[in-house]
Amino acid sequence: MASPLGHTAVALALGVALQPAQAPRRYWVLGVCCCLLPDLDFLGRWPGNRRLEALLDGHRGLTHSIPFAFLVGLLVVLTACVGPEWRGRRGRLWAYFTAATASHGLVDCLTAYGASVALLAPISWVRVKAPWQPLSQDRVTASSIASPRNRAARCSGSSCPPCSWRVRSPGGGGASRNFDTHHAAP
């Protein structure tokens, strides 16, 4: 996973962009909680908890998906934003809590390490990685992103890098292939 600090920074940036007027402190706290929530899927790995692990499809499975984020956003608004002070702002709050939760899986797609992400689970259990993965376990710096080696890695594999997501079939099998969303066969 990307670091909790990185996920928090993304959630706060989204919070600034989507914040309603006079957003209370709870708005920020809930947004940060939403962005960190997906990694609770580690609970599915506890010994003897195989059924939960299968339900979540392992790490970076169901809890990292966009449909899951929509559900979390809705539940947070319905349970934590019930007072009159939230009236007329719940649609915007839903958008923020959904975006904060979904940002976790999307950021994880940018990591050069770890499992691929089931972004559309449970609609589709196909796992994806972004064609450009600037987040490594090494310290990421602007110079490392711009290095010739990393530039070469970003440009390899397809003539259309922004659309070329690495896709792994739900059955695993370990092998990844480049999937060009523009030029794939129907």
Nearer to Zn ion, 57 or 108 (CB): 108
Nearer to Zn ion, 93 or 117 (CB): 117
Amino acid, single-letter form, for residue 177: R
Q: Please say whether the beta carbons of 154 and 98 come within 8 A.
A: no
DSSP secondary structure of 126-177: -EEE-S---B-SSPP-HHHHTSHHHHHHHHSS-S-GGGEEEEE-TT--S--E
> What is the nearest approach in angstroms of Zn ion to the Cβ of residue 56?
12
Among the listed ranges 13-21, 33-41, 92-100, 119-127, the one in contact with Zn ion (CB under 5 A) is 33-41
Q: Are strands 127-129 and 177-180 parallel, antiparallel or unpaired?
A: unpaired
Nearer to Zn ion, 1 or 100 (CB): 1
Q: Which of 30, 35, 39, 135 binds Zn ion (CB under 5 A)?
A: 39
**According to the binding rule CB under 5 A, does residue 1 interact with Zn ion?**
yes
Distance CA 63, CA 101 (A): 9
**According to the binding rule CB under 5 A, does residue 56 interact with Zn ion?**
no
> What is the nearest approach in angstroms of Zn ion to the Cβ of residue 141?
22
Q: Which of the residues 103 through 142 are near Zn ion (CB under 5 A)? A: 108
Nearer to Zn ion, 1 or 81 (CB): 1
| Sequence-ordered list of residues with C-beta below 8 angstroms from that of 146, at least 6 positions apart, any chain | none
User: Phi, psi at residue 178, to the nearest 5°?
Assistant: -85, 135
> What is the nearest approach in angstroms of Zn ion to the Cβ of residue 61?
10
Q: Please say whether the beta carbons of 122 and 144 come within 8 A.
A: no
**Tokens 């797609």 -> residue:** 109
Nearer to Zn ion, 110 or 163 (CB): 110
**According to the binding rule CB under 5 A, does residue 57 interact with Zn ion?**
no
Closest-approach residue to Zn ion (CB): 1
**According to the binding rule CB under 5 A, does residue 37 interact with Zn ion?**
no
Q: Which residues bind to Zn ion, rule: CB under 5 A?
A: 1, 39, 108
